[in-house]
Amino acid sequence: MHDLNLKIGLSGQAIANVTEENTALKFGSGTVKVFATPAMIGLMENAAINAVDTLLTDGYASVGTYIEIKHLAATPIGMIVMAKAELVEINGRKLKFKVEAFDEVEKIGEGLHSRYIVKLEDFLNGTNSKSNKK
């Protein structure tokens, strides 16, 4: 295993504009044209990726393994949403993040997200081998 070069407190951000394309109606996760919970979760995961993946050795990446999120408030089309992730725990290759999301007015989401560091080639080979099993 390579040296991770990661430390508690690393943080990352990700930003999205709320458009027709990332509403609950478009995602099929609701019937209202507001920022979709799956879109918020994706933005939170992206913030976690931004916190650590550039520090990983070439050929390694992190993959999402767990998410526990509260969606606290709706955000209309036309607003900007920002997600923040802070690395709060490192256990070998397992990483845990505190994640939050904010629109231009208030906090809209919060929770925990875990990622696992994988050797990309091995991960993809294992995943692609599923095609041979169907």
pTM for the complete prediction?
0.93
Domain 11-133 belongs to what topology?
Thiol Ester Dehydrase; Chain A (3.10.129)
Q: Where are the domains of the chain?
A: 11-133
User: Would you call 65 a catalytic residue per the annotation?
Assistant: no
3-state class (DSSP) for residue 126: helix
Q: Residue 129: its pLDDT value, please? A: 87
User: Would you call 45 a catalytic residue per the annotation?
Assistant: yes
Q: Which of 37, 75, 100, 113 is catalytic?
A: 37
3-state class (DSSP) for residue 83: strand
User: Would you call 19 a catalytic residue per the annotation?
Assistant: no
Task: Summarize pLDDT for 48-93 with one digit per residue, the tens.
Answer: 999 999 999 999 999 999 999 999 999 999 999 999 999 999 999 9
